[in-house]
Structures are given as structure tokens and as C-alpha cells.
Amino acid sequence: MKKKKFLRLKNTGSILVLMGLLIIFVIALYTFILQSSYTKTALETEIARDTASADAVHKLVNGKIGKEDFAQIKDQSDEKKQLYKDISSYFNEIRTLNSTRYIYTATKNEEGKLVYVVDGLDSDADDVRHPGDYIEEEMVPYIDRAISGENVYSQDIIDTTWGPIFTACYPVSANHDGTGEIIGVFCIEMDMQSAYGMVEETNHISIICGLVAGAVLLLICLYTYYVYQKSKAEEQKQKQPLHRDLTGVHVLMAEDNELNAELATIMLEDAGMTVTRASDGKEVVNLFKNHPRDTYDLILMDIMMPNMDGHQAAKAIRALGIERSDAVMIPIIALSANAFIDDIQESLDSGMNDHISKPINMEELTDTIAKYIKRDTCLAKELKQKQNDG
């Protein structure tokens, strides 16, 4: 009673531990999902706001720059021209009105490379770009698409050499009314440092929560496996065999190999059993047939034997059931090196009760014998043996 109560307490403790781990896992997973969702929503909101701001700036500029502006500004020496100064000053003025960090125009040079035309930063700014300077690699895909006639908006934070930004690029047509060939692009970049910091922080939290959730899930799996194995070990420990005391059981063994027969006899006799050996199938049938009913409690039958194999011998013994009931009732266990499904089925079809593969595992063999031998049979045999000895 105390043992059962102790086991119930142990099981309750295991359940509580698993529940605790599961709660931690759910909280960590929920936080991970929540943080990921928040990051995505916040980023989408920031990009939508910057897209609207960029479109507003583009409306101010659209139609005020055209083919002649791009044609007259080619390299750094053109910065002295009044045209460049006017456009740069105009871009710089617009830039200071909102969160726009950078406004510029770009085109393709004679080599087909993307280059700056007019930069809207102050001329003494550290990161100012001059006419003819190559466009940074991270911006090339956006400007290439814009030159093909598409309004392009970045859908994520772009990490550039001067910091995280949102960018929008618009095609510029040759004529001020928006008609004619596309001669370049007008680009706007918004500072995303605060959004980038928020994303980095939430991503960091999400990663930690994800790692915690993964670690807790691993702990749950390991602990569940540990509890299962421990429970299984306890169950096996508590589980008592039906009857492993096989003292007095008389085994008729058919085995043509001398060494195998000797080894099996020693193991069976060490377990308290009496062994009578037959060297082939014909002999085992004759021994069974020529001895009184219930002389043998069980037959161990090798399969590959001379004169008559194990399958034929089993069928011959079962056929004696017309004359004596024990021929039908006696357990016959096959001993064979072949253990495929077809081999086992062939043994059963020939009238045997079970099939054990060689080399013989003594624990498996005694368990199998015990399965077919009744406890009272063992006791009766043991009592009879003592009476005979007396």
C-alpha cells in the first residue's frame, strides 16, 4: 500500500514538472510569436509612412527636372554651374522639411554604369556624392528597376554604408510633363535608424525567446523520455514472470549437432529441467511414440536434421493425436538459425507452438518454456522426483 502511494506521489511530481516546463514553453513560444508579429507590424507601419512621405516629396519635384538637367551635369567640375547649385539647393531645402535623409538623381553613364547626377546634401557633408560618382552596390537593384519605368519602394530596411534606410526611386522622363524616354531616376532615402534599432531589439528578444522555447521543448522531451524509461524499468522490475521455476520439467530435445545439443542440455539442466535428446526427426518421433503419455512436458525441435527434418517430425507427432491426446497438447518449440517471417510461419504451419532463433538466448528460451508449462506441472514433477529419490 505504501509502495503504491509512493509511486502515485512520484507520478504526480513528474506530471507537475512536465506541466511547469510546458507552461514555460508556451509562454516563451507566445512571446516569440508576439515579438515577431510586433516587429513585422511596426516595420510595415514605418515603411507605409515613409512611402507616403516619399510620394509627397516626389510630387513636389516631379516635372521640375528634365533632359537638359541631366545633359549638362556629367562630372564634378559641373558642380560650379548655377544649374547644379540651384537643383542641389532645392533638394536640400526639401530634405530638411521631413525625415528625408537624402535626395539625389542618378543616371547611366556612357559605360552603362549607374552614377550620381545631383546630390541634395550640403557640399561640405562627409558623405556627399559628386556628379559621376558610382552608385553604391546596395542601391543598384532599386535604381535599375526605376530606370525601366517602375516606381520602386524598399520593402525592408536597407543597411547601407551610412546606416539603415528606406528608399524610394522614381523614373525621370526627358520632358517635364512626364513624357519621352526615361533619362534617369529621382531617389529619396529616409532615415530608419530608430526603426532599425527597434527591429534589432525585438529580433534579439525573439531569438532569446525562441532559444528558451527550444531549450524547454528539449527538456520536456528528455524528461518525458527519462520518466518513460524509468517507468518502464520499474514496471519490468515489478513484473514477475509467470513461472521461471522450471524444476522437474522433462524436455525432449531434437538436435543433430553434438556441440549444440551438449550446450543446450547443460543450460536446461542448470535451470532444473530433465533433458532427453534425439539426434534427428525420426528418433524424436519414436521416443515420443514409444514412451507413456505425459512422459515429456515439452519438445524442442531443431529444423535442419537428417532422416526427417523438424517440420516433418512435428507433423508426425501431431498426427499421433488420434491415438493419444498428449500428442496434440504437448508444446513444440522450433529451434532454428532462420528467423524470417516465412520461416516462423512454416514452423507454426507444421504444428509447432513457437519459434526461437539460434544461437539460443537462455532467458528467451526459459521464458518461452515457462509460457507453455503450467506451474502445477512443475510442482508435481518436482514432488514426484523427490518421491523417487526417497
Amino acid symbol at 79: E
Q: DSSP assignment of 119-170, as one string?
A: E-S-TT-TT---TTPBPPGGGHHHHHHHHTT--EE-SS-EEETTEEEEEEEE
Which cell goes with 221?
522531451
294: left (phi over 0), alpha (psi -120 to 50) or beta: left
What are the tens digits of pLDDT across the range 19-51? 777 777 677 666 666 666 656 676 777 778 888
pTM beyond 0.85: the answer is no
What are the tens digits of pLDDT across the range 93-148? 887 776 677 888 899 998 889 999 988 888 788 888 899 999 988 889 989 999 88
What are the tens digits of pLDDT across the range 49-62? 888 888 888 888 88
DSSP letter (8 states) at residue 350: T
Q: DSSP assignment of 237-254, as one string?
A: HHPPPS----TT-EEEEE
Give the helix/strand (H/E) hosting 377: helix 375-389
Q: Given this model, what pLDDT does residue 14 score?
A: 66
Which cell goes with 327?
500428442
Rounded to whole angstroms, how far apart are CA atoms 333 and 369? Answer: 8
Q: Which residue has the higher pLDDT, 232 or 292?
A: 292
Which cell goes with 9?
506521489
For Cα atoms 31, 33, 35, give the angle at the middle one, nearest 5 degrees. 65
Whether residue 298 is predicted with pLDDT greater than 90 in this model: the reply is yes
Domains of the chain: 62-191 (3.30.450.20), 250-389 (3.40.50.2300)
